[in-house]
Structure 1
Amino acid sequence: MRRFRLAVMVSAAFVTIAAASGCSDGGDGGGSSYSTPPSTAPSNATAVPRAVVKTASAGSLDTILVDGQGRTLYLFEADKSTTSTCNGACATAWPPLLTSGTPSAGGSAKSGQAGTSKRSDGTTQVTYHGHPLYRYAGDSKPGDTNGQGLNQFGAEWYVLDAGGNKVDKS
């Protein structure tokens, strides 16, 4: 029964991602085009020696946190401490920002807010203002914010501002 539930959860995650991936206005009216994420953990889930948390402008969301490659970072509202609750299929859809060293800050991100936390698999995840940080597999390029406000894996996902607070402009 547990394997069946896990298979259903994994399938639901991929269906959700695939559905989001097919959304495109096809024109240049400000819409983004998406590609289907890989069926295994994205390569961006690999730990980097020194992860960077910096800021970038994201249109109507104003200035938000991004990683060293400019990819949007998110918080998961189910995380009530610096310890991640997103594992398995969740971590495939929402790859944690991992590091093997001390994270640094750039732009208007505050270096004193960047930290780390051990994940259940033993890897080290970057945190900011007490929130474990994630990317979204449905974001295909820097600047995409397709995960903003999604309710997946039991809670909502939001981009963060430079202070480490969720950005909710709904």
Structure 2
Amino acid sequence: MRNTRSLTTAAAVAAALAILVCGGCSSSKSTTSTATTAPATVTATATGSPTAAPTSTESASPSAAISGTAATISSTTVGKYQNFLVDARGKSLYLFEADTSSASTCYDACATAWPPALTTGAPTATNGVDQAKLSTSTRKDGTTQIVYNGHPLYYFEGDTAQGDTNGEESSAFGATWYLINTAGNKIEGS
């Protein structure tokens, strides 16, 4: 009976994770829609596969911080891109060329299409990410954005599934957006 209950609980958690990860599953490269799915708190392996279920401390929107926990920044190799930064759920992270310092220049409509990667604690580096290059900056609204090698980090609202890289080399809001590698530089040349 106990094993059946454990299997039922595990199946429910797996189903919830599948719904959370897929949400509306679309691979659109548009920068005008407003996604509301948040990154979950799980740990990504080097291949980007989740190894834990989301906790109950998830946020309600992609631009909200993961409440009560620090973000985990990892690297993954998915498709044609090598060793780029992802969050703990395997969601791709981008830099914005308009940012010339660790202070973000992306607000309002920009932050809707490119939600900032926020944290409520000190971010943690895993899987080849350099902890010394990982820091934070305070946004105008008082939230804390994750910074890597001096670049504020963002999600792309068009990335709906783990490993999506639909925002790579997109031009929007006056500059180009790039995946960021473990050295802290943009990835270009797709």
Q: Fold-level match, TM-score > 0.5?
A: yes
- Tell me, in whole angstroms, the C-alpha distance in 2 between the residues paired with 1:105 and 1:152: 28
Whether the aligned pair in 2 keeps the contact of 1:71 and 1:144 (CA below 8 Å) is yes
Deviation at 1:38, TM superposition (A): 5.9
Whether the aligned pair in 1 keeps the contact of 2:26 and 2:158 (CA below 8 Å) is no
Q: RMSD of the TM alignment (CA)?
A: 1.9
Higher helix proportion (structure 1 or 2) = 1
Moved over 3 A (4+): 35-42
Structure 1: 5+ residue stretches without partners: 1-31
- Tell me, in whole angstroms, the C-alpha distance in 2 between the residues paired with 1:41 and 1:74: 18
2:80 aligns to what? 60
Q: Percent identity?
A: 46
| 1:124-135 mapped onto 2 (5 Å cutoff) | 124-135=144-155
Whether the aligned pair in 1 keeps the contact of 2:97 and 2:177 (CA below 8 Å) is yes
Deviation at 1:40, TM superposition (A): 6.4
1:116 aligns to what? 136
Match of residue 34, structure 2, among 29, 39, 46: 39
Deviation at 1:39, TM superposition (A): 3.4
| TM value normalised by structure 1 | 0.76
| TM value normalised by structure 2 | 0.69
2:110 aligns to what? 90
Alignment pair present for 1:138 and 2:125: no
Deviation at 1:160, TM superposition (A): 0.7
Closer/same/farther in 2, CA of residues 40 and 72 from structure 1, 3 Å limit: closer
Closer/same/farther in 2, CA of residues 151 and 122 from structure 1, 3 Å limit: same
Deviation at 1:46, TM superposition (A): 1.5
Match of residue 72, structure 1, among 74, 77, 92: 92
* SS of equivalent residue, structure 1 residue 53: strand
* SS of equivalent residue, structure 2 residue 112: helix
- Tell me, in whole angstroms, the C-alpha distance in 2 between the residues paired with 1:107 and 1:92: 29
Highest Rg: 1 or 2? 2
- Give the letter aligned to residue 169 of structure 1: G
